[in-house]
A and B are shown apart, each in its own frame.
Chain A
Amino acid sequence: GAGVSQSPSNKVTEKGKDVELRCDPISGHTALYWYRQSLGQGLEFLIYFQGNSAPDKSGLPSDRFSAERTGGSVSTLTIQRTQQEDSAVYLCASSLLLKRGQPQHFGDGTRLSIL
């Protein structure tokens, strides 16, 4: 498809389990971003990739969160030892990186529920 693709769309897991969330950006977009949106909260920046490197990881809430990107395309966000406060919608976005301020386009998100 032409847009940002995320999988799974929904994930329910038990507290303490690890989860992996996947993002496939728009073809040709070199920049990739992860955000999360908790119930009633605004979107919260997690991490930004330029190619395969992550110049800005400042939003990762704890060392249980990690992300990687390979081949300048697909990215995986991993949450280890999940906690109930990790329940949120995790959104991925991508953009061109021709200059600062390129608009970011979002995928449909992964709704993560921790029991």
Chain B
Amino acid sequence: QKEVEQNSGPLSVPEGAIASLNCTYSDRGSQSFFWYRQYSGKSPELIMSIYSNGDKEDGRFTAQLNKASQYVSLLIRDSQPSDSATYLCAMLTGFQKLVFGTGTRLLVSP
């Protein structure tokens, strides 16, 4: 069973701080990883994709991938209350099948 593990949280950070979300995965052969944000009652929204070892930055978001250690992380700089949501980590297995973690709930307090 190929799995993605995330701490369910909640992760609480004050406004303006850096939020660090982590995920580990079991499929050493997986090459593609994604972070989705899901607000309560809404559908997942793609935040970042990462395919290579190292960092990938997009605005306030940075995704980090370490294939040797089999972990993926998402950093959110200058966290805002509007960032409060559940963040889902997903890895690609097979050709196009995504396996999701259960998500980490982030709470950003004003």
Contact = CB atoms under 8 A, between A and B. Distances in A.
Q: Do A and B bind each other?
A: yes
Interface of A: 31, 33, 35, 40-45, 48, 50, 55-56, 58-59, 91, 95, 97, 100-109
B92 A91 contact: no
B98 interface: yes
Interface centre among A35, A56, A104, A107 (most CB of B within 10 A): A104
Interface centre among B96, B99, B103 (most CB of A within 10 A): B96
B17 interface: no
B44 A43 contact: yes
Contact of B97 (A45, A106, A109): A45
**Nearest 3 interchain pairs by C-beta:** A101-B32, A42-B102, A43-B100
B32 A106 contact: no
A59 B45 CA distance: 22
B103 A106 contact: no
A42 B100 contact: yes
Contacts of B34: 103-104
Interface of B: 4, 31-32, 34, 36, 42-46, 49, 51, 88, 90, 92, 94-103
A98 B102 CA distance: 28
Contacts of A43: 44, 88, 90, 98, 100
Nearest to B101: A42
B99 A100 contact: no
Given A41-B102, A42-B102, A91-B44, A31 B49 contact: no
Interface centre among B36, B44, B45 (most CB of A within 10 A): B44
22 contacts: A31-B96, A35-B98, A42-B88, A42-B101, A43-B44, A43-B88, A45-B97, A48-B95, A55-B95, A56-B96, A56-B97, A91-B43, A100-B92, A100-B96, A101-B31, A101-B49, A101-B51, A101-B92, A103-B46, A104-B34, A104-B46, A106-B36
